[in-house]
Structure 1
Amino acid sequence: MTAIPTIRTARLTLRAPGPQDVAPMAAFYASERSRFVGGPKDAEGAWRQLAAEIGHWTLRGYGHWIVEETATGTACGMVGLWNPEGWPEPELGWDLFDGFEGRGYATEAALAAREHAYGTLGWRTAISLVHPENTASARVADRLGARPDSTFTHPAFGTVLIYRHPVPEACC
C-alpha cells in the first residue's frame, strides 16, 4: 500500500482518509453540498466512496486527503489528486463539509496539494472539473490561477468545465 503523506499548512492538516472519516463522509454525502460530486448518497454509498478514496491511493499512488483544522482536529473536507478510470486527465479537486465554506480552506489545501503534485510527483499540468452551476468551486479555481479550458461530459455527472492550472514554473 502507498504511504500517504501528511501535509501541513498554516491552518490545516491534510492526512490519510480512514475509518474515523465514515461519519463526516456520511454527513457530507447526505447533504445537498455533495450534489456536484455524485451525491447525495445514503450511508452505504458514502462508505463506498470513502473506500474508493482510500483505494485510489493504492491504485495511483496519490489521492484525496482528509482536511482537518489543525487547531481542533475537526475534519472539514477532502482535497487532493484524482484520476479514476474514464477521467480526462489528472485532477486537483476539493470538497468542503458543511459549515467550513467561506474561510479559504479549499484554496489553502488545494495549493498544498498542487505543490505536492508538481513538486513531489512531477506533474507538468493539472485540471479541475467544475460543474457549471458550482460558482463557489469556480471561484476557488480562479483563486488558484486556473482558467476555463474546455468541457468534459461524464456519463454520471454530465457536462463539466475543465479548468486548467498554471504550469509549475508559473505558480510554484
Structure 2
Amino acid sequence: MIPTLHTDRLILRAPEARDFEVFAAFYGSDRSSFVGGPLTRSAAWRMLAMEAGHWQIAGFGRWILEAQDSGETVGLVGMFAPEGWPEREIGWDLFGHHTGKGYATEAALAARGYAYDTMGWDTAISLIAPANTASMAVASRLGAVYERDYQHETHGLLQLWRHPAPAQLATDTNHRRTA
C-alpha cells in the first residue's frame, strides 16, 4: 500500500492511470532530458508503470504530486533506488508550468522526512545532471551538498548530492525535517 502524504499545498499520492497524459507530455518534452527523456508515449507508459511498481518491489518509491487547490498533477517526488543507482535517492521532477513555485522543495522535504522517520534511512542522495541548475538549487535549499561525480550507464555523468543525515537535521534550524 502506497501511503498518502500532505504538505501545505500538495498531496503526495500513488501514481494512477489518470496521471498518464501529464506524465506522457512531460516525458515527451525536452524538459525531461535531465531524467532520461524525451520518451515515446509507450515508453512513458512503461515509466509510469515502473514508478508504481517500484513501491511493490522496493517497499518505497516516488509519489505523484497533486496540487491541493486545483487537483492538477504537478510532478513526481520521492524515494528512488532502481538497479544501477549508487544509493537510495530523493528525487523530484516537476511537470509543465509548475516550476518556480517551491513545489519540489516542499515535496522533497516531506519525502525525505518519510524516508528518515518512517523508513529508517540514515542517509540519502540526489543524482543531478550537471546542467540542471534548477535541481541543484532545490538540493541546496534542502541542505544537500555536492559530493562527487557519478557515471551512470544510461544517463551518463551525474552529480551526487548528499543530504544531511537525520541527526544533523535535528540540530539544523535552516533545513527542516519536513515541510
TM-score by length of 1: 0.98
Match runs of 1:14-163 below 5 Å: 14-163=12-161
Counterpart Cα distance in 1 of 2:26 and 2:84: 24
Once the two structures are superposed, what CA deviation does each residue of 1:38-89 show, in whole Å capped at 9, x if it has no partner?
0000100100000100110001010010001011110000000000111100
Counterpart Cα distance in 2 of 1:52 and 1:26: 13
The residue type equivalent to 1:70 in the other structure is Q
Gaps of 5+ in 2: 170-176
Counterpart Cα distance in 1 of 2:108 and 2:42: 27
Contact (CA 8 Å) 2:79, 2:91: kept in 1 or not? Answer: yes
**1:152 Cα shift?**
1.0
RMSD: 0.6
**1:169 Cα shift?**
1.6
Where 2:108 maps in the other structure, the secondary structure is helix
Counterpart Cα distance in 2 of 1:23 and 1:98: 12
**1:140 Cα shift?**
0.3
Where 2:107 maps in the other structure, the secondary structure is helix
Counterpart Cα distance in 1 of 2:130 and 2:159: 6
The residue type equivalent to 1:107 in the other structure is T
Counterpart Cα distance in 1 of 2:146 and 2:82: 21
Gaps of 5+ in 1: none
State the aligned residue count: 170
TM-score by length of 2: 0.94
Percentage of pairs with the same residue: 54
Where 2:75 maps in the other structure, the secondary structure is strand
Counterpart Cα distance in 2 of 1:88 and 1:170: 22
